[in-house]
Amino acid sequence: AAPARAPTPQMGRLFLRYVEADVVHCCTICGTHLSSHDHIVSKAFQGRHGRAFLFADVVNVNEGPPEKRLLLTGLHVVADIYCNACETRLGWKYLEAYEEGQKYKEGKFILEKSMIIKEEDYRARVAEAEAEAARSLEETSDEDAMKLDSPEALSDGSGAADSPQEERHDARGVSSLGGAASLGAQGHAAGDGTGNAPEPMSIGVTAHLQPNERRGEGHPGQ
């Protein structure tokens, strides 16, 4: 059988510790508790991305491999630290200081200011994001409702309705044909006074005859 693989932070169920304090510093990405404000030793440190705080204790982090690093205050052995929940790099841990005046930092943690946030600020940010998402969803629903109420959506799918101009044009055409038919009927009824009915009036309709159907021409053999 293959040997069991060493556990990693991604395997199994993740257990996180919660810090009970008036002011709690959290991971700015996922909000995981990291340390109490009371554990800050100094705010006068510099990290890779600007200002950093030195904490006496930090929870919910895992350490990378140790390495010697020449910092502004001398040579140290440090290990980068990462959030247990989202694996974001947060700072580093001092494992050893070579200069006597720097020994107080051993076992303590650097958290970069840009990578941490107070818990109350994180909760406010999450609440604002949720409210913005709700507003966006409501606006989308209103737009969908307006589309459903539009004339295009209410049509029966047989095509666009006739425009008023087309309706008026059709009405004029029907009226003209009706008027011409009336005049023709009146002519038949009145006659020309001699008792002979006049020729019916043309209403502008031309019959298209084939060459062998012209007036006076019959089919061959007729």
Give burial (CB, 10 Å; 0-12/13-18/19+) of 99. Answer: exposed
Quote the number of domains for the chain: 1
Q: What is the CATH number of the domain that holds 36?
A: 2.170.150.20
Select the more confidently predicted residue: 218 or 21. Answer: 21
Q: pLDDT tier at 114 (50, 70, 90 boundaries)? A: very high
Phi–psi pair at 148, nearest 5 degrees: -70, -30
Q: pLDDT tier at 144 (50, 70, 90 boundaries)? A: confident
Which residues, in sequence order, are bridge partners of residue 117? 26
Select the more confidently predicted residue: 120 or 201. Answer: 120
**Structural domain includes residue 123:** no
Predicted pLDDT at 148: 75
**Structural domain includes residue 222:** no
Predicted pLDDT at 14: 79
Q: pLDDT tier at 180 (50, 70, 90 boundaries)? A: very low
**Structural domain includes residue 35:** yes
* Stretch 20-27: mean pLDDT: 97
Share of the chain above pLDDT 90, in %: 51
Distance CA 111, CA 34 (A): 9
Give burial (CB, 10 Å; 0-12/13-18/19+) of 199. Answer: exposed
Predicted pLDDT at 152: 66
Determine the Cα angle at 17 with ends 33 and 125, to 5°. Answer: 25
**Structural domain includes residue 49:** yes
Which residues, in sequence order, are bridge partners of residue 68? 77
**Structural domain includes residue 151:** no
**Structural domain includes residue 34:** yes
Segments forming the whole domain that contains residue 73: 24-118
Stated pTM of the model: 0.58
Grouping H, G, I as helix, E, B as strand and the rest as coil, residue 193 is coil
**Structural domain includes residue 85:** yes
Share of the chain above pLDDT 70, in %: 61
**From 26-35, 87-96, 127-136, 186-195, the region with the lowest mean pLDDT:** 186-195
Given a cut of 90, is residue 120 above it in pLDDT? yes
Given a cut of 70, is residue 189 above it in pLDDT? no
Q: pLDDT tier at 147 (50, 70, 90 boundaries)? A: confident
Is the sign of the CA dihedral 75, 77, 82, 83 positive or negative? negative
Q: pLDDT tier at 215 (50, 70, 90 boundaries)? A: very low
Strands 50-55 and 40-47, by their bridges, are antiparallel
Residue 3 C-beta-side C-alpha neighbours within 13 Å: 3
**Structural domain includes residue 198:** no
Q: pLDDT tier at 34 (50, 70, 90 boundaries)? A: very high
